Amino acid sequence: MSLLRPRKIAQLRGHGGWASVFFGESALESTTIRGAGHEVSEVEETAASLPASDAAGDVKSRWQSAAQELRRKFKTHDYRFVTAVCGEDVLFHTLRLPSTQIEELKQMVDLQIDNLTPLPVEDVVYGFEPLETGNGETTVLVAVASKAVVNERVEVLEKAGLPPEVVGIETLALFRNCVRKQMLPTDEKLNAFVQVGPTAANIIVHTKGIPCAIRSVVFGTAVWNGVENRATLLEELQRTFVASEADQPDRGIGSVTLTTWNKSLQTEVEELARAWHGSAKCYTNGSMPSPTASLCAETAEAKPPQLNLLPDEWRKRRRAKQWRRQIISGGIVLAVVYLLGLSTFLTLIWNRQTQLNDVNTRLARREPDRIKALQLQQMLEILQKQLDTKYSGLEVLREVSMLMPEGVKLNGFTFKKDQSVTLKAQAQTAAVMNDFRAKLEGSGLFQKVAIPSSHSDPTLLTKFDVTCTLKSAAQLPGGTPKWP
């Protein structure tokens, strides 16, 4: 049962919450938290035991099998993941730097990192976080870890589909969770928080809840040796106090809080508390927050810059993967927009084509009416011409008489109403005949003038026939107009 009770938190980031994964002694342990507003509303703990050593091969493959089992126990897409390394795998340094700007502090730490680790810089991963600021200076906590140790854990989780965004430090997470739960003194004295494990112990000297010095004691044996390990730990605790008191002589030594999460070490922690010459208190399994719950709370409440030991190569992979997902998502969105636009365009074309086909269909149905209307219109025009006296026989004869030049004599006149008039005439010369023809062609009554025959008689007169088509002889297309 978790000891992480619902409480106010500064910020609960992530999809549905945070999930911590802790590499325990015999199992992968996990705690998930969700938030409603600024309240932690749900806490769930689970674990996946490591297979037997002869069943899954080496330690790494056993961790991998446990990670796969853990993944199946909850919906991974609802969480962001955090894991941690042990305190004994990390070198800690407390530096006082002449700046309060985060970027400047980072540059200063980068310049000093060669002096803070015995390993080559390319083989370590490091991070820092501010502790106190005053008088234009900042006290920062720098943590340096072996990149191989961190990568080993990150790779196991990555392959299982539990990619950690943060790699924290178990000891720091437990310490801060105890501070939040008011399990540690927060006075101005130099107090100590001691986390005891089977093979190592971690010491944090703190004042007002802020770490001043962090040390790790790695025991020489894989199995706890009570007398020897207690003596080693108490000696290192005394040295750490002395070194811290030399840096801050006005503080004075306060109390010691000894903790363990290992059930088998409960008696040993109590013995350590009795062996310490000063004030001491101990918390064991059942009264201590779990490492996984502490990791979740630590990550959810952390304010940037957060101490994160995740190597840059994993962050670059995440950014590249996220960038690829964004490109793919953008491509899908563009494809959907394009298909929607194309669908809309084709729909508009189809609607327009349908409307055009409908109009053509209606026009085809009205085509007989249109032809009939044109026929009626032409018939009306013909009737109007018939009613017009300009095309009567007398009017045509009068027009011909006026156009007849001297030397032309009219011998016959045949009139076909609304069609033509045929003249039989004679002229003194052919030139006079042609002059008469030209005048007839220029008349407004005739649309065509033809002389089908002409000849000269013994009297030297030119006799000819003239056929003049009247302009009133308009025809409908396709033949003579018919009455409806």
Can you give the pLDDT at residue 2?
34
What is the CATH class of 389-470?
A: alpha beta
Instruction: Return the domain boundaries, the chain.
Output: 312-386, 389-470
Strands 27-36 and 39-49: antiparallel
Can you give the pLDDT at residue 257?
95
10-residue stretch averages of pLDDT, the chain, 484 residues long: 36 63 89 66 79 68 89 77 93 93 93 92 94 92 94 93 92 93 93 92 94 90 78 92 90 93 87 92 86 87 84 85 85 92 92 92 90 88 67 81 87 84 87 87 86 76 87 54 44
Can you give the pLDDT at residue 190?
95
Can you give the pLDDT at residue 346?
93
| 3-state helix/strand/coil string of the chain | CCCCCCCECCCCCCCCEEEEEEECCCEEEEEEEEEECCEEEEEEEEEEECCCHHHHCCHHHHHHHHHHHHHCCCCHHHCEEEEEECHHHEEEEEEEECCCCHHHHHHHHHHHHHHHCCCCHHHEEEEEEEEEEECCEEEEEEEEEEHHHHHHHHHHHHHCCCCEEEEEEHHHHHHHHHHHCCCCCCCCCEEEEEEECCCEEEEEEEECCEEEEEEEEECCCCCCCHHHHHHHHHHHHHHHHHHHHHHCCCCCEEEEEEECCCHHHHHHHHHHHHHCCCCEEEECECCECCHHHHHHHHHHHCCCCCCCCCCHHHHHHHHHHHHHHHHHHHHHHHHHHHHHHHHHHHHHHHHHHHHHHHHHHHHHHHHHHHHHHHHHHHHHHHHHHHHCHHHCHHHHHHHHHHHCCCCEEEEEEEEECCCEEEEEEEECCHHHHHHHHHHHHCCCCEEEEEEEEEEECCCCCEEEEEEEEECCCCCECCECCCCC
Can you give the pLDDT at residue 175?
94
pLDDT tens-digit readout, 55-72: 445 788 889 899 999 888
For tokens 């089977």, what's the residue? 198
Task: Determine the Cα–Cα distance for residues 173 and 379; give it in Å rounded to an integer.
Answer: 107
Instruction: Say if CB 18 and CB 296 are below 8 A apart.
Output: yes
Q: Select from 413, 421, 409 the least CA-distant residue to 457.
A: 409
Q: What angle do CA 119, 123, 128 make, to 5 degrees?
A: 85
Can you give the pLDDT at residue 430?
85
Q: For 14, how many CA atoms within 13 A lie in the half-sphere containing its CB? A: 29
Instruction: Say if CB 428 and CB 461 are below 8 A apart.
Output: yes
pLDDT tens-digit readout, 131-189: 999 899 999 999 999 999 999 999 999 999 899 999 999 999 999 999 999 999 999 99
Strand order across the beta sheet in which 420-427 lies: 408-416, 420-427, 462-470, 446-456
Q: What angle do CA 150, 133, 111 make, to 5 degrees?
A: 50
Task: Determine the Cα–Cα distance for residues 252 and 71; give it in Å rounded to an integer.
Answer: 48
Instruction: Say if CB 259 and CB 196 are below 8 A apart.
Output: yes
Can you give the pLDDT at residue 76?
61
Q: Which residues pair with 96 in a beta bridge?
A: 139
Q: For 291, how many CA atoms within 13 A lie in the half-sphere containing its CB? A: 28
The two structure tokens encoding residue 42: 């749900």
